[in-house]
Structure 1
Amino acid sequence: MSGFDWPALMQAGVCGVGLRPEEFWRLTPAELRMLLGDAAGDENRVGRARLDELLAAFPDTGALPKV
């Protein structure tokens, strides 16, 4: 069973935020939380030190990937 109350989330997204249903279904739960003004996700933010670690591990070469 899912841990999400989909009817309540859809009501909040569609009625509360004004999303169209197709926009709602394209969102991740984190994006919906942000749109609803829920700052509870602050513990998942990447700080400067972690960002520097990621930049060192995955440097931006400036080259775009070939498709």
Structure 2
Amino acid sequence: MNAAAGKATLSEPSAFPWEMVMHVGLCVLRLDPKHFWALTPREFAAMSGAFRPTAVQIGRDDLNALMALYPDQSGGLDG
């Protein structure tokens, strides 16, 4: 079935990554199994770094503005 034929396409949901979650909780964080299994998903996400700040990325417009403010100087390493 496809959307062009007027039929909605549904993809299968991906399986929960139990092996990875258990590895992080039990091996990386070294949690006791009793404490690991008592965690809520939100608590585990916080402990495993899911809520860490993301790096700010500069866009092309900002880069161009900085280059206009601070042009390359001659007399550097190659001249």
TM superposition score normalised by structure 1: 0.50
Take 2:15 and 2:43, find their aligned partners in 1: how far apart are those partners? 17
Residue matched to 1:11: 23
Aligned residue identity for 1:33: A
Residue matched to 1:38: 50
Take 2:28 and 2:46, find their aligned partners in 1: how far apart are those partners? 13
Aligned residue identity for 2:18: W
Take 2:14 and 2:38, find their aligned partners in 1: how far apart are those partners? 18
Larger radius of gyration, structure 1 or 2?
A: 2
Q: CA RMSD in A?
A: 2.0
Take 1:9 and 1:20, find their aligned partners in 2: how far apart are those partners? 14
- Structure 2: 5+ residue stretches without partners: 1-12, 53-79
For residues 17-32 of structure 1, the aligned pairs below 5 Å read 17-32=29-44
TM superposition score normalised by structure 2: 0.43
Misfit runs of 4+, over 4 Å: none
- Structure 1: 5+ residue stretches without partners: 41-67
Count of aligned pairs between the two proteins: 40
Aligned residue identity for 2:27: C
In the TM superposition, residue 9 of structure 1 has moved relative to its aligned partner by 0.3
Identity level (%): 38
